[in-house]
Amino acid sequence: MSGARGGDRRDDRRGSKAQSSGGASRDGAKRTPAKGSGRPADRGKTPRRHPTAVGAGADLPRWLREEVVRTTKKDRRDATLNLLSAAAGSFEEGRYAAARKKLIEAKALSSRAGAIRELLALSCYRLGFWQEALREIRTYRRITGDTTHMAIEMDSLRALERFDDVHSTWRTFQELGGSPAAEAELRVVYGSFLLDGGDAQNAWDVTRPRRLSRDAPEWEVRRWYVAARAAARLGDRETARQIAKAIEELDPALPGLEDLHDEIAQPG
């Protein structure tokens, strides 16, 4: 986890595909949770499996096996690795309920393994289990210190209508920091949240592009989408059109682009 808004995530969450890692998608390219947010970029590389490998979890990346070994009691390691391997396969195939079931079992065997918490949170998020996704992704952050998925935290809070906590999550990220991709995704979700609340000025301040680069990454384009919507809401249709044109040049198939043009064309 598509870029700005595009519709209510809850309407299309079951149809969205895994993005090789996991945030549900919402907004600009139609994501998945609360109303028109952004799609959290999931750091969580869904562990790719190699059928020719042998041994418990041998088809998982080495770093992942090492994490499970480090955090799991010896007599539980093989079972945990096999469950995680099966869950990763289910997740990659878009079978999130099956992945969740296996991950809950794996968590019972190894509660300190960050990778299990991460993939469980992403599976719950895809299923629209906002409270469970929020709990697991916060546990993941507490265990690892990784802020990559704070956009998922925020989006789950939006879906749960815990709006004060949405603002506090934004402030927390400002204090902790994170990767450029994680920050851009959070800005997409937060900017969309502000737009939903009628605060177009702050939505613009949060998402405004530094520059419209022709080699911008996908997550930056999603940020532009929200910025264009904010500019249109503020009555700056020329800026909105410039941003929409830049988006179209980079990703003409971005979901929600037609809606964006309609919104720009609306009389002020």
Query: What pLDDT shows up at residue 214?
Result: 87
Instruction: Give the pLDDT of the chain (268 residues) as one tens digit per residue.
Output: 333 222 333 333 222 223 333 333 444 333 333 333 344 444 445 555 444 344 677 678 889 999 999 999 999 999 999 999 999 999 999 999 999 999 999 999 999 999 999 999 999 999 999 999 999 999 999 999 999 999 999 999 999 999 999 999 999 999 999 999 999 999 999 999 999 999 999 999 999 998 898 889 999 999 999 999 999 999 999 999 999 999 999 999 998 999 999 989 987 6
Query: What pLDDT shows up at residue 17?
Result: 29
pLDDT for 37-90, tens place per residue?
Answer: 344 444 445 555 444 344 677 678 889 999 999 999 999 999 999 999 999 999
Long-range contacts of residues 176-179, Cβ cutoff 8 Å, at least 24 apart: 176/147, 177/147, 178/147, 178/148, 178/150, 179/43, 179/148
Query: What pLDDT shows up at residue 94?
Result: 96
Question: Does 44-145 match 1-37+147-268 at the fold level?
Answer: yes
Query: What pLDDT shows up at residue 11?
Result: 33
Residue 35 pairs in a beta bridge with 8
The distance in angstroms from the start CA to the end CA of the chain is 32
Residue extents of the structural domains in the chain: 1-37+147-268, 44-145
CB 126 within 8 A of CB 16: yes
Residue with tokens 């895994």: 18
pTM: 0.79
CATH topology of domain 44-145: 1.25.40
Which CATH number is correct for 1-37+147-268, 1.25.40, 1.10.20, 3.40.50, 3.30.70? 1.25.40
Q: Which residues of 99-110 are buried (b: 16+ CB within 10 A; e: fewer)?
A: bbbbbbbbbebb
Q: Which residues of 31-42 are buried (b: 16+ CB within 10 A; e: fewer)?
A: bbbbbbbbbbbb
